[in-house]
Structure formats: C-alpha cells, structure tokens
Structure 1
Amino acid sequence: MEQVSITSAYMWAIVIMVSFFLLAVIISNLILFKPNNPGTTTRRICFWVLCVATGVVGFIINFAIGEGITVPVIQSNYFMHSGIAAGVCVVVYILIGFVVSKLFPNSKVGTWF
C-alpha cells in the first residue's frame, strides 16, 4: 500500500465503534427480564466488554492496515493515529452509551449506567 490516509484510521475506528455499539444494543435487548434476576448486571458487563473490544479490535484492524505501508515515517504516523483513534472511539462509545442510557431509562439499555 503506497498511499494510506490518516483519515482511514479514524474511519475504521468509527465503523468498528458503531457496529459494536449496535451489537451491545441488540444483545441488551435479547437479555430477558426474570422475576429474581432482572439481568441488569449481565447487560452492564456486556456493554463494558464490548467497550473494551471496540478499542482493541479497532487498533488491531488499523495495525493490520498499517503493516502494508512501506515508508517508515508514514507507517509510524499511521500507527500513532491508530492508537489515538482507538482511544477516541472508546470515549465516544461510553458517551453515546451514557446518553442513550439516560434517554431511555425504562428500557433495557437504560440499565447500562
């Protein structure tokens, strides 16, 4: 890969974040309410595990893309922005999760926070 834009690191991280967030919403809605166990702990654990996975998977995908860059300076710059993009996406994932949790307090996603 000769030309890889730094912007692609952020775009891939955002795509991973959105897909993992939607997966968290789907999984939270699939966990049933039970009389003795409302499932709130399971939903929270699912949300936070996918939060960590967002950063890890986003960085791994960007690292794999960056391995194909032949110019060392551009590769180093891309790897730096891959880490920044992964961190930013984890923070945005948490912020969006908090907002969605507070917007729908009586739903299953309302138990994330």
Structure 2
Amino acid sequence: MRPVPAAPPSPVARCAALADETRWEVLRRLGQEPLSASELAETMPVSRQAIARHLGVLLEVGLVEQAREGRQVRYRALGQQLTRLARDLETVGRAWEQRLDRLRVMAEEQAGRDSSGG
C-alpha cells in the first residue's frame, strides 16, 4: 500500500485533479469497489495507459490508494479524503452564502432609503 502524504494536498490541488471527466468517473468507480487499471480500462473508452495516468494524479493528491493483490495492483477511493474535501467546499459555500445575505440586506436597506426619498 502506498503511504498517504504527510501533509495532505490542498483542496485546490484536489479539485484540479477532479476537473477531468474521465478522472471523476475513475474515482466514482473506485468508490464502488477496488479495481485494477486493467479492469477500469476494460469498461471505459480510454486506454490502460490513460487510466494509469489518471490513477497517478488521483494517487498524488491522496484521493485513492493502491494495494498489491497477487500480481495485480488494485486501487480504491479514500472516502475520508473525499469527506474532508466536501467539508472544505461546504465551508467556502457557507461563507459565500453569508456574503450574499449581507449584500441582500444592504441592497434592501438602500432600496428603502431610495423609496423614502432619503
């Protein structure tokens, strides 16, 4: 099993890794069950070499891990890392919602002043 990096990659690096449809599909499938690169390539419209590159990116940002099973290397998604990324994104989303709420209140206050001739 490949060790998880000591300092986790940034949420930006993880989001960048997920900004590829094929990589997203690879991660989705690995969340269902551990698979080898060959097994992934058999069911996807890309070569085994392309799958290997995508797996390398996902390994680099700590979203999957690999484990040798006999002659095969199987990969699986790391749910804990995905949960951490989801929490990071949720925090950003809440901050934006709060900013938008403050802007809405300011706009309503300004509209009230404008309509009262103030």
More strand by share: 2
TM-score above 0.5, yes or no = no
Normalised by the shorter chain, which TM-score bucket?
0.3 to 0.5
Query: Which structure ranks higher in relative contact order (CA pairs < 8 Å, sequence separation ≥ 6)?
Result: 1
* TM score, norm. by length of structure 2: 0.32
With normalisation by structure 1, the TM-score equals 0.33
Which entry has the higher C-alpha Rg, 1 or 2? 2
